[in-house]
């Protein structure tokens, strides 16, 4: 299989007052196209930090991340934004939906952000059609005009997944996507992710739950700031 994403010797620490907290201590990770990878570790092990670095939401102190053999450090601001917007789709534990927007508008937001104000009117019909398809697929066709605070946790997470997929990214990064849900609702979200993976979507998911990690095709562990298969 083709390697789509590679992290090499990632080191990351944070200052907490006079104390330095070493989170990642030379983490390595290789993800092949079409894989569903679960990264498991205890709270504070650096799972989310690693995911944010993979998605270019954070930078390592040293080490490198390569997407299709291109180092993210070499990308200029515009291309790095393109990577975050078009190449990677993000799903977060706490959804990060905008309460002032409807379900439909939230799902379309990344596509709206990727074009100019002048270019949006011509793009809008296709984006809206795609958003309708995704939200319908995830059982939300009757919630399009609702605001996020009017939805259940599971519904909000499905909106977040639709938003993550609106630009058809090759890579989906999920940070504890079931962590804020009850077990039954979380199982439904996992089934959505497994179905997407079966269709070819590459997914990297972090979790602290062994049962959830077991649903992925491959599981790796973060221990003492390093990755272990």
Kindly tell me if the per-residue pLDDT of 148 is higher than 90: yes
190 Cβ contact list (under 8 Å, min separation 6)? 178, 212, 215
Alpha helices in 39-166 (DSSP H): 47-54, 77-82, 103-113, 120-137, 153-165
How confident is the model over 11-50, as pLDDT tens digits? 999 888 888 888 999 999 999 999 999 999 888 888 999 9
Let me know: does 75 contact 141? Beta carbons within 8 Å.
no
Secondary structure class of 25 (helix, strand, coil): strand
- pLDDT for the residue numbered 102: 97
Which element (helix H / strand E) includes 13?
strand 3-16
pLDDT surpasses 90 at 171 = yes
Burial 122-132 (b: 16+ CB within 10 A, else e): eeeeebeebbb
């Amino acid at each position: 299989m083709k390697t789509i994403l590679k992290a090499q010797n990632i080191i990351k620490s944070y200052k907490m007052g006079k104390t330095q907290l070493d989170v990642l201590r030379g983490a390595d990770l290789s993800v092949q196209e079409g894989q569903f990878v679960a990264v498991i570790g205890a709270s504070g092990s650096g799972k989310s930090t690693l995911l944010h670095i993979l998605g270019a939401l954070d930078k390592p102190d040293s080490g490198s991340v390569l997407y299709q053999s291109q180092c993210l450090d070499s990308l200029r601001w515009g291309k790095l934004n393109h990577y975050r917007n078009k190449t990677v789709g993000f799903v977060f534990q706490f959804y990060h939906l905008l309460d002032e927007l409807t379900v439909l508008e939230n799902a379309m937001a990344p596509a709206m952000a990727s074009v100019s104000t002048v270019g949006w009117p011509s793009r809008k019909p296709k984006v809206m059609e795609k958003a309708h398809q995704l939200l319908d697929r995830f059982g939300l066709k009757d919630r399009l005009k609702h605001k996020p605070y009017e939805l259940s946790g599971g519904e909000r997470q499905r909106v977040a997944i639709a938003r993550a997929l609106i630009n058809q990214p090759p890579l989906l990064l999920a940070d504890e996507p079931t962590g804020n849900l009850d077990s039954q609702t979380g199982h439904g979200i996992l089934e959505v992710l497994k179905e997407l993976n079966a269709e070819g979507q590459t997914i990297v998911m972090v979790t602290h739950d062994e049962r959830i990690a077991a649903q992925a095709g491959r599981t790796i562990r973060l221990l003492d700031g390093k990755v272990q298969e």
